[in-house]
């Protein structure tokens, strides 16, 4: 996600967004596509300018580099943040989506933007961390070219099996997989996706063999798990919780360091495989050379959002645990995640599709 401020060149025409206008759409009905851009008092097209008879305001644009579709986890978190910032800072924010090349298109957009604090990136890990190793030739170095601002949320995946598989727990799954080598098919939302690398990390740490079956997104992977075409899937909790509660799928464990509030009775994989952890982490970054004062102010605003009980409750509804951090701490997390997933990509010989 990028947050970009774009100056308006007319003193008489500025953007106006009615209270009822949903975040992510302009008054003319423009809907952002798939990589989020969050703008404060945003100009998205000439038709959206409205004469208000006052000095122009600059606009913040926040564009998501996650490549996730509208309505996906990263998109929802971006919109919740945009709405909170809009309400508390007095300027509307809008989300644009820029999918493609496993989030690299959105990231490059921010890397090339002016370091003025008006273009920010929705950092999404593991994808941004994975890409540093997965792709041989990128037009940017993520750690060098993106300045960390703040963490946003962390949420685990859930390890799922079809109830027809004769296992009730992670230890039973490991035992079954080892007695049925290479007969376990593992679905994912695509090669190099968070689901894929979570499964590969599990394979590495447990010594089990699983055949990776990539799909074009999580939905078809989940459908084939329900249809018994594959045996296991590491999926987003919010996408699968209905199937879990109805008994159509069995949750063996969550992938985070702690149990999920959405599935409090489901253990973590780490309770059986010490050291295992794989979470979806979201935060905000800016182009390199953005001033320290801008970074400090944005970090303060974002952490204020994460401290708001109403915001925390809305994030919890989508499985996100708030992740307030200093810029330095978030930067260290990015480096640690990049190193961690680089080892997985190399050991599993993952190549981009």
pLDDT at 69: 53
Q: Which of 298, 349, 322, 353 is nearest to 154 (CA)?
A: 322
Q: How many CB atoms lie within 10 A of CB 286?
A: 26
pLDDT band, residue 96 (cuts 50/70/90): confident
Q: Cα 53 to chain center, whole Å?
A: 39
Fold assignment, 2-155+280-347: D-Maltodextrin-Binding Protein; domain 2 (3.40.190)
What value does the mean pLDDT take over residues 336-351? 96
Helix (H) or strand (E) holding 183, with range, is: none
Summarize pLDDT for 133-142 with one digit per residue, the tens: 999 889 999 9
Q: Which of 106, 131, 105, 128 is nearest to 38 (CA)?
A: 106
Separation between Cα atoms, residue 169 and residue 188, nearest integer Å: 20
CA geometry: angle 155, 156, 160, nearest 5 deg: 145
Q: What three-state secondary structure class fits 168?
A: coil
What value does the mean pLDDT take over residues 61-88? 72
pLDDT band, residue 19 (cuts 50/70/90): very low
Q: Tell which wins on pLDDT, 62 or 78.
A: 78
Architecture of domain 157-271: 3-Layer(aba) Sandwich (3.40)
Summarize pLDDT for 150-186 with one digit per residue, the tens: 999 999 999 999 999 999 999 999 999 999 988 999 9
Question: What Rg value do the Cα atoms of the chain yield, rounded?
Answer: 21
Most confident of 23-27, 70-74, 223-227: 223-227
Summarize pLDDT for 78-89 with one digit per residue, the tens: 889 988 988 888
Q: Cα 155 to chain center, whole Å?
A: 9
pLDDT at 99: 63
Q: Is the pLDDT of residue 8 over 70?
A: no
Q: What three-state secondary structure class fits 304?
A: helix
Q: Is the pLDDT of residue 68 over 60?
A: no
**How high does pLDDT run on average in the chain?**
82
Phi, psi of 143 (to 5 degrees): -65, -35
Please report, for the chain, the start and end positions of each structural domain, with discontinuous segments joined by +: 2-155+280-347, 157-271
pLDDT at 21: 35
Phi, psi of 37 (to 5 degrees): -120, 125
pLDDT at 49: 29
**Does the pTM of the predicted model rise above 0.85?**
no
Contact between 186 and 212 (Cβ < 8 Å):
yes
Contact between 210 and 181 (Cβ < 8 Å):
no
- Do 2-155+280-347 and 157-271 come out as alike in CATH topology? yes
């Amino acid at each position: 996600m990028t947050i970009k401020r774009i100056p308006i060149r007319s003193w008489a025409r500025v953007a106006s967004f009615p209270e009822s206008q949903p975040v992510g759409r302009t008054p003319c009905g423009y809907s952002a596509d798939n990589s989020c851009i969050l703008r404060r008092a945003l100009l998205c097209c000439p038709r959206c300018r409205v004469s208000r008879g006052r000095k122009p305001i600059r606009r913040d644009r926040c564009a998501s580099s996650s490549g996730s579709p509208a309505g996906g986890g990263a998109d929802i978190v971006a919109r919740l943040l945009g709405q909170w910032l809009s309400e508390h800072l007095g300027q509307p924010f809008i989300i644009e989506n820029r999918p493609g090349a496993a989030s690299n298109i959105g990231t490059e957009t921010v890397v090339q933007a002016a370091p003025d604090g008006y273009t920010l990136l929705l950092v999404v890990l593991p994808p941004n961390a994975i890409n540093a190793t997965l792709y041989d030739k990128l037009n940017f170095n993520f750690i060098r070219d993106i300045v960390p601002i703040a963490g946003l949320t962390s949420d685990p995946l859930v390890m799922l099996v079809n109830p027809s598989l004769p296992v009730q727990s992670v230890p039973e799954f490991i035992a079954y997989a080892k007695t049925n080598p290479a007969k376990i098919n593992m679905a994912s939302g695509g090669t190099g996706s968070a689901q894929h690398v979570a499964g590969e990390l599990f394979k590495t740490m447990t010594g089990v063999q699983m055949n990776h079956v990539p799909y074009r997104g999580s939905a078809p992977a989940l459908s084939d798990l329900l249809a018994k075409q594959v045996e296991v899937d590491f999926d987003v909790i919010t996408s699968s919780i209905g199937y879990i509660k109805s008994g159509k799928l069995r949750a063996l464990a969550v992938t985070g360091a702690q149990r999920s509030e959405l599935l409090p009775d489901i253990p973590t994989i780490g309770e059986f495989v010490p050291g295992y952890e794989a979470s979806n982490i979201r935060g905000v970054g800016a182009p390199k050379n953005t001033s320290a004062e801008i970074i400090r102010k944005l970090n303060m605003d974002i952490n204020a959002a994460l401290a708001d009980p109403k915001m925390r409750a809305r994030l919890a509804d989508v499985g996100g645990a708030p992740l307030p951090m200093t810029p330095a701490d978030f930067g260290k997390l990015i480096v640690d995640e990049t190193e961690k997933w680089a080892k997985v990509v190399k050991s599993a010989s993952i190549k981009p599709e």
